[in-house]
Amino acid sequence: MITKSSKTAISLTSYISSKFSSQIPIIDLSTLHKSDPKSLHSLGQQIDEANKRIGFFLIKNTGINFNFISQLLRTSQAFFESPLENKLTCRNPDPDYLPWGYFPRNMEQLQRGKDFKNPKQDYLNDVNEQFNLQSRHSESLVPIRQFPPHPLEFKQVFETYYQQAYELSNLLMRGFAVALGVKPTFFEDKFTYGSSCLRVLHYPEGEKIAPGQFRASEHTDYGALTLLYSTASGLQVKNRKGEWVDIEVPWEHFVVNIGDLMAFWTDDRWVSNLHRVVAREETPKKRISVAFFHNPNHNALIECIPTCVDKNTGKGKYEKLFSGDFIMKKFKASVGEKDK
């Protein structure tokens, strides 16, 4: 739960420290903006420990202005509350570009993506609607960005946040490199244009949730890392014991978790962990979630990082793969398409 009240923020931080600190650590990114080797090494150790243990952590002192985050949330809410015909102006009709633009309610079921070669069809779709903004670079092989006519500030706000989240995510990748014992620039040539996605999800207030249905069903993310911000509770992650752990986020903090490609890169040294969004009440509260999925270039070859190879075999357990192919197959499975 997020609040602007400093008093509440302090109490929430204490709450996390007392209940979740052993599982969901908070990492201060202040030193990541500097080049002091000793500080970077300490930060790398914290990132490494968090990603080995649960694959999730909270971050603070990110450099992003949270007054702007408030504007982003207001703009998102205005869009989702607008008439359907306004939202459908940025609905991409081309099936080859399924992820982009506006997605109407209950179009996706994330749990199906766990078996993308033969996705199950009997799951109930997740209860949300969403807008997905893609990279502006032609190298990403995605369509031109489409924006709705209302609200008027939508394009400017979303493009600004996309760039801010992209830069913060690249900064985190430097921290990831230090954590893995490779040079800080190790990942830079894999993200020269990127195929990242800004996804804003609206979980409607009072929407009836059927038995066995979720606001977002259990899944792992697909890419390198996810940067998440939301307006209400409900996010849960599964720990090593198989228990679902609630993640509560104080004001001016983000959630970071790694995706499947990062687990492949590290040969499962780091955990791409199952998580979900549940409705806590019989009549759920409205929830807006801003997720930035930081993905490598679509043609980036994902293979085991040298510091993570098996010492006996000298290689990793996973076959090499291209980033874009894997991510698209996982997404198509979530909307019920079988791998061709």
What are the structural domain ranges in the chain? 6-334
Say what percent of the chain tops pLDDT 90.
59
Domain 6-334 has CATH 2.60.120.330: yes
β-partners of residue 28 are 60
What is the pLDDT, as a whole number, of residue 7?
34
What is the pLDDT, as a whole number, of residue 251?
85
Q: Tens digit of pLDDT for each residue in 230-282?
A: 988 899 999 888 999 999 888 899 999 999 999 999 999 999 999 999 887 76
What is the pLDDT, as a whole number, of residue 15?
33
pLDDT of residue 28 exceeding 60, the answer is: yes
Rounded CA-CA distance 184/177 in Å is 5
* Total length of the chain: 340
What is the pLDDT, as a whole number, of residue 312?
87
What is the average per-residue pLDDT within 16-44? 75
Q: Which residue has the higher pLDDT, 327 or 98?
A: 327
Lowest mean pLDDT among 8-22, 43-57, 173-187: 8-22
**Pairing status of strand 244-246 against strand 254-258:** unpaired
Q: Which residue has the higher pLDDT, 108 or 224?
A: 224
Q: Which residue has the higher pLDDT, 110 or 179?
A: 179
Cis (ω within 30 of 0) for the bond into 151? yes
Q: Which residue has the higher pLDDT, 124 or 162?
A: 162
For the chain, the C-alpha Rg in angstroms (whole number) is 19
